[in-house]
Amino acid sequence: MIDKVSKSYGSLEVLRECSTAVRKGEVVVVCGPSGSGKSTLIKCVNGLETVNRGAIEVDGVLVTDRRTDLTKLRARIGMVFQHFELYPHLTVEQNVTLAPMKVLGRSKDQAQEKAHLLLERVGLFDKVDRFPGQLSGGQQQRVAIARALAMDPIAMLFDEPTSALDPEMINEVLEVMTGLAADGMTMMVVTHEMGFARKVAHRVVFMDQGEIVEDANKADFFANARSERAQQFLSKIL
CB 22 to ligand ADP: min, Å: 17
Q: How far is CA 49 from the centre of its chain?
A: 15
Q: Per-residue b/e over 81-96, b at no fewer than 16 CB within 10 Å? A: bbebebeeeebbbbbb
Q: Does 64 bind ligand ADP (CB under 6 A)?
A: no
Q: Could you say which residues in the range 28-47 bind Mg ion, by CB under 5 A?
A: 38-39
Closest CA to 143 of 74, 187, 92: 92
Task: Count the neighbouring beta carbons within 10 Å of the beta carbon of residue 141.
Answer: 29
Task: Count the neighbouring beta carbons within 10 Å of the beta carbon of residue 174.
Answer: 21
Q: Which span (6-14, 90-98, 195-203, 227-235) binds ligand ADP, by CB under 6 A? A: 6-14
Among 22, 27, 37, 64, binds ligand ADP (CB under 6 A): 37
Q: Are strands 61-62 and 77-80 parallel, antiparallel or unpaired?
A: unpaired
Q: Which span (38-46, 146-154, 175-183, 192-200) binds ligand ADP, by CB under 6 A? A: 38-46
Q: Does 39 bind ligand ADP (CB under 6 A)?
A: yes
Size of the site for Mg ion (CB under 5 A): 2
Q: Does 94 bind ligand ADP (CB under 6 A)?
A: no
Among 19, 24, 25, 35, binds ligand ADP (CB under 6 A): 35
